[in-house]
Structure 1
Amino acid sequence: MRKKLLLFLLLATLMSNAQINLNIGSTDVGVAPVSSFFSYSYVQQIYPKQEINANSAGNITGLTFYVDPSVTISDSSSWTVYLGLSTKTAFTSNTDWVPVTQLTQVFTGTVTNNNGQVVVTFTTPFAYNNTDNLIIATKENSQSIDINNFNEVFRVYPHLPSSTLYYRRDLATIDPASPPAGLRAGYKSSVTFSGLTPNTTPACPFVTYPANNQQMVLLSPIIKWLAVPGVNSYKVSIGTSAGATDVVNQQVVLTNSFTPSTPLVQNTNYYLRVTSVSGGLESSGCTDVVFKTIPPPPVNDACSGALVATVFPYVYTQTDAAAATNNAGFITTCPDAMNDGTWFKFTGDGGVFNLKVTMPASSADFDPQMGVYRGSCGSLLCVGTLDSNGGGGTESANLTTTAGMVYYINVGSYEETVDVPENVFTFTITKL
């Protein structure tokens, strides 16, 4: 009987001490779980199952958030807290709130700063299924603000883009049933989940590049992932089929980035897996990230392969520009040098032609420059270059031609000292 009692007391102690800590040593501050510098705020945060890394389903009995022990939160202390389960991994827009009808209110009342800890104890535990991601939503109801040197005070840590969606204002409380458009952030609250027991193995890293199912990945990619707190190292595997390691086999990496020592093969699907290691234990259940490398260089990669426009309007969508090479180096024929991208040519008739480069939304990070030349590929002469807009912007110019003159047009990155991949664009020549 005595042994049974001791075992019961031991289990009770373990259950009462069960908790999962996420980045509680961070010193960064932000607008989560609430804003301390605005009168009212409403904040939603996504904590993926992969990050929580619980050993099983369980009841969350409370949350602890963190601040500097010296700050005051007396005017940011009236909270209503909700939890919810979701498959959502990011807030896709500034209005992509999780409906409050899909959340459970777990706390309403006043919180305090107790030597740097702000503890929220639930009246009724919240059942976490260890399958879905967790949503934490917090509404702050106090009318006044805490000055604290005009800063937010709650500790946060950087994570996946759009992990947090928040709205803050001074005029009136915010209705969680119909919150206004807010702002997204790539950080979340440092937090302790009371009631959950951590997995015995470390969490799987979040791979940030390449993204799952990403196309047009370079042959020597810089693979990146979010650092996992407390781990000693990582292992990287790359294969040409799911779970395979025929390209890179459990390569030990001490930082959170890696580039294969041998370039990958063009136009090939690869399966990437990154695990974390702590105290000799390796994370388990980590999933593959699938990506595809760039195709071979396009046929118009070099000036000698320039596509010929003979019928106008001429319209060509270049879908494989990311595979273009810089050939012999940067094009310095004009004073404003540029990357060697892809090439087009046509013969003038003495009339005026409009040259235009436009891009889809997917190419918003590509800042194109258009170079116009005459002569021959081995001896180009500068007509002019155009780079009037930034990434994703349209470049358009009118060219007065000389009859019988052959004009070469290069569409590449504006960079003149760094070889930058091009992206999808549409090139148009219109006779005016």
Structure 2
Amino acid sequence: MVKRNLLLFLLLTALMLNAQININIGSTSVGTAPISSFFSYSYVQQIYPKQEVNANAAGNITGLKFYMDPSAGIADSSNWTVYLGHTSKTAFTSGTDWIPSSQLTQVFAGAVTNNNGVVEVVFTTPFSYNNTDNLVIAAKENAPSIDINNFDEVFHVYPHFPNSTLYYKGDHAVINPSSPPGGIRADYKSAITISGLAPSPNPACPFVLYPVNNAQSVSLSPNISWYPVSGADSYKISIGTTPGGTNVVNQQTVTTNSFSPSAALNPDTNYYLKVTAVSAGAESSGCTDIAFKTIPPIPVNDACSAALLASAFPYNYTQSDAVSATNNGGFIGICPDAMNDGTWFKINGDGSQYTIKVSMPGGSTFDPQIGIYSGSCGNFTCVGTRDNGGNGTAETITITTTAGTGYYINVGEYNETVDLPESTFTITITKL
């Protein structure tokens, strides 16, 4: 019995010592993480969401491994101090949005080496990871010299959440983590091995890039995309019109990290998307739905022939479905300043002056152009256009009408060569 218990203890100890989580260790892109090898001093913070760490349970992190080209040199970038911590953040909001040093625990200070492409940091004291919060890994490099390495950084990184890394690098002085200077955010993180934690038996749930949760006005043929999951060999996609539903797409398998439904979705409809990863037959568990709503139907005033008539003034109309305008036959080039074919309005001239204003409610960044034409659809004469401002800027134009003449007003994207979508706007027509 004693011998059996001893063998069991040794087995469990071996499993704990060998427990590790690998995150995108096959990546070969390079970046400024976990430190900069091409500047004298650097300080870098990286956020690894709990979902991405995908540990089987809380436990002690005993070390980290970072990856680089086996032939690259870091002799002059080898004096490291490493910190770990917990955070609720998934990204840095600005170049000064550092996680305070008071929330970090120093786990290593000393020299590191490149051992055939692996830089291993063994902690003096293990870090207790709670498997509830996101993990922040911070490192500063303290040596005053640089490693040339073809004038580039050497550590392997992979693309991930926008602004999930924040770094500062310079040649002036060692950075103080208690008051670091303003840094630069990056959309990548270190390829890494986390030692001491046992991975979940199931692959991590993918982070969906598009559409984001609760997105509105999503295309009827969306290009759904997500970040690749480390170790995944395929993915399964489900789409339904109820939470957890599969009535549109039912567990369809793909081997890339993007997917478009074979049939167009319905307009103005709420959908629920779930993406899971599959690795060696095991599938992600506990993945949440991404809710989104498709674009509204084509506006009733999409074509010139269906222009909305303004007959009582002041006239106000908010076009909330402009994103579904079709651009019809293409761009309108009647005036020297051509434009997208957006949505249409009409006034009947009576000899008075009219001011037409297009504004964007709710902080819309739509960049509108107003085009005004006399005559009839397909047989226009240019009256004038207005596109003085940029994104989110209101446009105003005043015209003098002739009694008995019809005036057609087009509100479209300013671009005259690319079919860009319109967005929500309010048109106000005032009779002077």
- Same fold, judged at TM 0.5 (above): yes
Aligned mates of 1:361, 1:107 — CA distance in 2: 49
Cα distance change on mapping 1:43 and 1:240 into 2, 3 Å: same
2:287 — aligned with what? 286
8 Å contact from structure 2 (residues 353, 401) kept in 1: no
Aligned mates of 2:177, 2:359 — CA distance in 1: 41
Asked if residue 401 in structure 1 is aligned to residue 400 in structure 2, the reply is: yes
Report the residue type matching 2:115 in the other structure: N
8 Å contact from structure 1 (residues 372, 382) kept in 2: yes
Aligned mates of 1:429, 1:40 — CA distance in 2: 60
Aligned mates of 2:43, 2:362 — CA distance in 1: 31
Moved more, 236-245 or 417-426: 417-426
Report the residue type matching 2:310 in the other structure: V
8 Å contact from structure 1 (residues 218, 293) kept in 2: yes
8 Å contact from structure 1 (residues 272, 290) kept in 2: yes
Aligned mates of 2:178, 2:189 — CA distance in 1: 22
Cα distance change on mapping 1:329 and 1:17 into 2, 3 Å: same
Asked if residue 123 in structure 1 is aligned to residue 124 in structure 2, the reply is: yes
Query: After the TM superposition, which residues 51-90 of structure 1 pair with which residues of structure 2 at under 5 Å, given as runs?
Result: 51-90=52-91
Aligned mates of 1:106, 1:14 — CA distance in 2: 22
8 Å contact from structure 1 (residues 356, 394) kept in 2: no
CA offsets 1:225-250 (integer angstroms, 9 cap, x no match): 11223322211111122111122111
Report the residue type matching 1:282 in the other structure: E
Asked if residue 268 in structure 1 is aligned to residue 272 in structure 2, the reply is: no
In the TM superposition, what is the alpha-carbon distance from 1:78 to its structure 2 partner? 2.1
Asked if residue 372 in structure 1 is aligned to residue 410 in structure 2, the reply is: no
Aligned mates of 2:291, 2:428 — CA distance in 1: 34
8 Å contact from structure 1 (residues 31, 166) kept in 2: yes
2:201 — aligned with what? 200
Report the residue type matching 2:19 in the other structure: A
8 Å contact from structure 2 (residues 313, 430) kept in 1: no
- Tell me the SS of whatever aligns to 1:11: helix
Query: After the TM superposition, which residues 386-425 of structure 1 pair with which residues of structure 2 at under 5 Å, given as runs?
Result: 392=391, 394=393, 396=395, 398=397, 400-404=399-403, 405-414=405-414, 419-425=419-425
Aligned mates of 1:182, 1:355 — CA distance in 2: 46
In the TM superposition, what is the alpha-carbon distance from 1:263 to its structure 2 partner? 2.1
Report the residue type matching 1:242 in the other structure: P
Aligned mates of 1:287, 1:60 — CA distance in 2: 27
Cα distance change on mapping 1:370 and 1:30 into 2, 3 Å: farther
In the TM superposition, what is the alpha-carbon distance from 1:28 to its structure 2 partner? 0.7
In the TM superposition, what is the alpha-carbon distance from 1:302 to its structure 2 partner? 2.8
1:139 — aligned with what? 140
Aligned mates of 2:179, 2:345 — CA distance in 1: 53
Moved more, 354-363 or 84-93: 354-363
Report the residue type matching 1:241 in the other structure: T
Query: After the TM superposition, which residues 29-108 of structure 1 pair with which residues of structure 2 at under 5 Å, given as runs?
Result: 29-108=30-109
Aligned mates of 1:235, 1:408 — CA distance in 2: 49
Query: After the TM superposition, which residues 222-241 of structure 1 pair with which residues of structure 2 at under 5 Å, given as runs?
Result: 222-241=223-242
In the TM superposition, what is the alpha-carbon distance from 1:273 to its structure 2 partner? 0.2
Asked if residue 257 in structure 1 is aligned to residue 255 in structure 2, the reply is: no
CA offsets 1:325-358 (integer angstroms, 9 cap, x no match): 3345544545665432222344567787665555
CA offsets 1:144-182 (integer angstroms, 9 cap, x no match): 222222211111111121111122222223222232332
CA offsets 1:2-60 (integer angstroms, 9 cap, x no match): 33222222222111111111111111111111122222222111111111111111111
8 Å contact from structure 1 (residues 360, 424) kept in 2: yes
Moved more, 398-407 or 131-140: 398-407
Moved more, 346-355 or 402-411: 346-355
In the TM superposition, what is the alpha-carbon distance from 1:143 to its structure 2 partner? 2.1
8 Å contact from structure 2 (residues 368, 412) kept in 1: yes
In the TM superposition, what is the alpha-carbon distance from 1:378 to its structure 2 partner? 4.4
Report the residue type matching 1:420 in the other structure: L
RMSD: 2.8
In the TM superposition, what is the alpha-carbon distance from 1:395 to its structure 2 partner? 6.7
Moved more, 376-385 or 189-198: 376-385
In the TM superposition, what is the alpha-carbon distance from 1:84 to its structure 2 partner? 1.4
Moved more, 141-150 or 204-213: 141-150
In the TM superposition, what is the alpha-carbon distance from 1:400 to its structure 2 partner? 4.8
Moved more, 71-80 or 213-222: 71-80
Percent identical: 67
8 Å contact from structure 2 (residues 387, 395) kept in 1: no
1:214 — aligned with what? 215
The gaps in structure 2 that reach 5 residues or longer are none
8 Å contact from structure 1 (residues 80, 105) kept in 2: yes
- Tell me the SS of whatever aligns to 1:144: coil
- Tell me the SS of whatever aligns to 2:76: helix
8 Å contact from structure 1 (residues 46, 89) kept in 2: yes
Aligned mates of 1:351, 1:112 — CA distance in 2: 81
Moved more, 272-281 or 187-196: 272-281
8 Å contact from structure 2 (residues 22, 230) kept in 1: no
1:191 — aligned with what? 192
Query: After the TM superposition, which residues 330-345 of structure 1 pair with which residues of structure 2 at under 5 Å, given as runs?
Result: 330-334=331-335, 338-345=339-346
1:175 — aligned with what? 176
The gaps in structure 1 that reach 5 residues or longer are none
- Tell me the SS of whatever aligns to 1:51: helix
